[in-house]
Amino acid sequence: MLLFLSVPQPRPPGARTRAGAARVARWRRQRLRLRLQQLRRLRGLLRGLRGRPGAGSRRRGRMALCGQAAGAASLPSELIVHIFSFLPAPDRLRASASCSHWRECLFYPALWPQLRICLRVSPTEQPRLEFLMRKCGWFVRELRVEFAAENYLSGGGGPGDGGGADTGTGGEEVEALQLSARWLEVLRTYLELVLCVLVSIRNNRNLQKFSLFGDISVLQQQGSLSNTYLSKVDPDGKKIKQIQQLFEEILSNSRQLKWLSCGFMLELVTPTSLSSLSNSIANTMEHLSLLDNNIPGNSTLITTVELERFVNLRSLALDFCDFTAEMARVLTDSNHVPLQRLSLLVHNVSVMHKSLDNMPNDEHWKALSRKSTSLRVYIMAFDIKSEDMLKILKPSIPLERIHFDSYITCVSGAIVDLISRQYDKFLTHFILMNDVIDTSGFPDLSDNRNEDPLVLLAWRCTKLSLLAIHGYTVWAHNLIAIARLRGSDLKVLEVTEESIDFDQGELADQDVDPVHNLIEQVSLGLGQPWHAVMDIESLSVFTEPNRHFYREMQSFSEDI
């Protein structure tokens, strides 16, 4: 703790005599100089403490000789705020418990330019969120909020809490109707938390970055199930309407907004939301992300006409079915700055309800690449059939990252081979996830092929730095080949233990433990220690694919 000292103040000599007036003035000037010296000494002390942790203990004894120590509560607010600025957020909160004066300085606007919150959808979070947003919501410049429902829903088997029992097709219909109070509470709490965030920032004109993510995929997994819950929690639709109006009010009141990102937020963004943005804000927006696989029919969250206003857009994230050939043409106009990052979500729900006929063709992708030579694309595909992927994967897409996540439809070896041939100059991230129940039936991509497609991918894609696989058979000798081909350039190689298989003929010829030999050979190839992933639940890319894609999209867009 710092000790701040004050000098005793004796009565000025000769203060009661007329002759002593000059001495009083001279004494006051000396006192002022002494205080300036104290301030300079204090500033030097703070610099020393910042650079040398042990400097304060060495000086404390010398400073104590100068006068009587003052309490920490007597420090000026500006000095406390300056001290707080060097502390991380948790330490600021602990320091604010010292006294009421320090607590008042805790939420000074300069200390909280950005706020990143990850919330469990739980009633216990609401008081804390209300306090934090009441203090910071009106001035924060960058706000990122993530709502996580999976912590609340773990351990249950569905609306009827039926566990993992196989109830059959008829049982699923009954289960969807048996709405448990626990699940209803999740959605009710979610709406309250969203309202709390939006109300607190409705008049914030300093907001520059605004990101919202609502991980309620469990509720949306069965499509209309979320609407059934909403009809119970919000029967007249007042809360949903209030949420949508608040969101549009935030957009209309914004004066400095550069970054707007909404991912999987239930009933938040509507096709008319972006019209609330003024032309001046739309013209200066740099990032726009609108992801929601629950939009019915042919509705889109942004139209081509609306996109024409965003002339300064450098990164964009949309549902693939919403990104049409007309949008690609707009982005190539001379009045638009070159687009540098494009993230596209291909979801089986969207493909079922929307057409792929309006997607950009290869000529549109060539025009986009000519407009911006630094354009890179990130695609995530949820349960997409191989024939649809063949339509989507145009040769001229500058594809840097691709993530497959399947529950029903598996990726074929032909698709992996096509990716390795078409995008060998750009591809850096390749993720292949298959959530199958029967672990003995993992598909083998190398069936009826002379070469394994994954090995060819590692050979052709010289920039590959991340490879993650689960739910597909990966032969041990092929895994060793991948590690040797890419070497230390392959920064991340994540393969689950149950996905690795060993050739029986090779096992008969080896005298060593095959697992130990695999670990040793892959580690040598990569130039770093390597182990197979033992616990699949530790992989967020597997357990939380929506959240993983959203976070990766954010970092992908920021890395310009």
Q: Give the pLDDT mean for 211-231.
A: 63
Clarify whether residues 116 and 106 are in a common domain. Answer: no
For 275-303, the pLDDT digits (tens) are: 999 999 999 999 999 987 666 556 788 99
Mean pLDDT computed over every residue of the chain: 82
Q: Is residue 461 part of a domain?
A: yes
Please say whether the beta carbons of 455 and 482 come within 8 A: yes
For 289-343, the pLDDT digits (tens) are: 998 766 655 678 899 999 999 999 999 999 999 999 999 999 999 999 999 999 9
Query: Angle between the 181-200 and 225-233 helix axes, to the nearest 10 degrees?
Result: 70
* Maximum CA extent, the chain: 113
Residue 389 is predicted with a pLDDT of 94
Long-range contacts of 127-130 (CB under 8 A, 24+ apart): 129/193, 129/196, 129/197, 130/196
For 544-557, the pLDDT digits (tens) are: 888 899 999 999 99
Q: Is 315 exposed, middle or buried (0-12, 13-18, 19+ CB in 10 A)?
A: buried
Q: Give the pLDDT mean for 85-91.
A: 85
| Domain end point (choices 285, 306, 340) | 285
CATH of the domain at 488: 3.80.10.10
Residue 182 is predicted with a pLDDT of 72
CATH of the domain at 101: 1.20.1280
Residue 87 is predicted with a pLDDT of 87
β-bridge partners, 381: 346, 404
Long-range contacts of 152-159 (CB under 8 A, 24+ apart): 152/120, 152/121, 152/122, 152/186, 153/183, 153/186, 153/218, 156/180, 156/182, 156/183, 159/183, 159/225
Q: Is residue 524 part of a domain?
A: yes
Please say whether the beta carbons of 338 and 375 come within 8 A: yes
Clarify whether residues 106 and 118 are in a common domain. Answer: no
Residues 240, 258: Cα–Cα separation, whole Å: 26
Q: Give the pLDDT mean for 431-437.
A: 85
Q: Give the pLDDT mean for 529-533.
A: 94
Domain that holds residue 96: 75-110
Clarify whether residues 251 and 185 are in a common domain. Answer: yes
Q: Is residue 21 part of a domain?
A: no
Clarify whether residues 365 and 230 are in a common domain. Answer: no
| H/E run at residue 542 | helix 540-543
- pLDDT of residue 516 exceeding 80, the answer is yes
- pLDDT of residue 68 exceeding 50, the answer is no
- pLDDT of residue 40 exceeding 80, the answer is no
Residue 243 is predicted with a pLDDT of 95
Residues 375, 449: Cα–Cα separation, whole Å: 34
For the chain, how many structural domains are there in total? 3
Q: pLDDT grade, residue 155 (50/70/90)?
A: very low
Residue 275's closest CA among 310, 314, 312? 310
Task: Extract the tokens encoding 25.
Answer: 């003035």
Clarify whether residues 213 and 339 are in a common domain. Answer: no
Residue 506 is predicted with a pLDDT of 67
Clarify whether residues 395 and 482 are in a common domain. Answer: yes
